[in-house]
């Protein structure tokens, strides 16, 4: 049960939110821009208004450059046909690099993790970007992820080790186990990054040294699931 004070606090907060939602804009164009900008993750209406006003202060060329970069990104970006990393061609620069160890594939959730691991400078293998992790709460099942293409890569025979580098969350663990089961009939070593990354942490937020060490000190997945 809520006490009177708590109810009052909720009432005040609601009023503040309503006030913000009903904020009057002097121009529909400005309001539209704020609506669009605030639809971005992590951008509230206050920040959106600040960004829109910033655009207005700069010359038109600045906004044109901004808009065309976003449009070009959305329209022209390609995904590597091997690892599903973002690239400008059919194959990303990592997959196309013959100096990399193509027999070691690091499985990550998203492109952000490829960038984070690349920044450590500790990994010379290649990647496989799943495009998310299994999360029934968000309606994401194995079929929504690039798991079949990972199995296909392993089935082709060149891959000797699969390094699972997913977030150390319940969803990450579920995805790890699903992949482990899918690959169990193949002659491939499956390892998991060391838990230098604390439980519940997301890979992209781990610092470079910790993440680098986690890749180097990876352990066999088989050992990690033994109770």
Burial level of 15, CB count in 10 A (0-12/13-18/19+)?
exposed
89, 78 Cβ separation under 8 angstroms: yes
Pick between residue 76 and residue 88 the one whose CB is nearest to Zn ion.
88
Distance of CA 141 to the CA centre of its chain: 16
Pick between residue 63 and residue 149 the one whose CB is nearest to Zn ion.
149
We find the least distance from the C-beta atom of residue 88 to Zn ion, in angstroms, to be 12
Which 8-state DSSP code applies to residue 105? E
197, 203 Cβ separation under 8 angstroms: yes
Pick between residue 92 and residue 164 the one whose CB is nearest to Zn ion.
92
Neighbours of 114 (CB within 10 A): 27
We find the least distance from the C-beta atom of residue 39 to Zn ion, in angstroms, to be 30
We find the least distance from the C-beta atom of residue 85 to Zn ion, in angstroms, to be 5
Pick between residue 34 and residue 106 the one whose CB is nearest to Zn ion.
106
We find the least distance from the C-beta atom of residue 201 to Zn ion, in angstroms, to be 25
Pick between residue 20 and residue 81 the one whose CB is nearest to Zn ion.
81
In the structure encoding, which two tokens stand for residue 137, read together?
Answer: 């709460």
Alpha helix segments (H runs only) across 58-145: 60-76, 111-120
107, 130 Cβ separation under 8 angstroms: yes
We find the least distance from the C-beta atom of residue 126 to Zn ion, in angstroms, to be 7
In the structure encoding, which two tokens stand for residue 52, read together?
Answer: 């829109």
Q: What is the chain's length?
A: 227
Which stretches of the chain bind Zn ion, using CB under 5 A?
80, 82-83, 85, 92, 95
Pick between residue 79 and residue 177 the one whose CB is nearest to Zn ion.
79
Neighbours of 135 (CB within 10 A): 17
In the structure encoding, which two tokens stand for residue 17, read together?
Answer: 């939110």
We find the least distance from the C-beta atom of residue 94 to Zn ion, in angstroms, to be 5
């Amino acid at each position: 049960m809520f006490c009177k004070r708590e109810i009052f606090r909720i009432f005040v907060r609601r009023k503040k939110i309503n006030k913000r939602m009903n904020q009057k804009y002097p121009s529909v164009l400005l309001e539209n821009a704020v609506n669009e900008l605030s639809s971005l993750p992590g951008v509230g209406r206050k920040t959106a208004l600040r960004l829109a006003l910033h655009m207005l202060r700069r010359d038109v060329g600045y906004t044109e450059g901004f808009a065309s970069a976003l449009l070009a990104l959305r329209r022209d970006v390609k995904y590597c046909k091997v690892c599903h990393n973002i690239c400008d061609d059919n194959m990303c620069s990592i997959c196309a690099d013959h100096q990399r160890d193509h027999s070691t594939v690091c499985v990550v959730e998203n492109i952000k993790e490829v960038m984070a691991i690349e920044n450590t400078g500790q990994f010379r293998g290649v990647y496989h970007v799943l495009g998310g992790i299994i999360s029934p709460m968000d309606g994401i099942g194995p079929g929504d992820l690039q798991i079949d293409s990972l199995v296909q890569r392993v089935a082709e025979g060149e891959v000797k080790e699969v390094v699972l580098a997913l977030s150390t969350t319940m969803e990450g663990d579920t995805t790890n186990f699903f992949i482990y089961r899918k690959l169990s009939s193949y002659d491939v070593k499956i390892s998991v990054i060391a838990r230098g990354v604390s439980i519940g942490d997301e890979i992209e937020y781990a610092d470079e040294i910790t993440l680098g060490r986690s890749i180097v000190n990876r352990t066999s997945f088989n050992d990690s699931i033994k109770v």
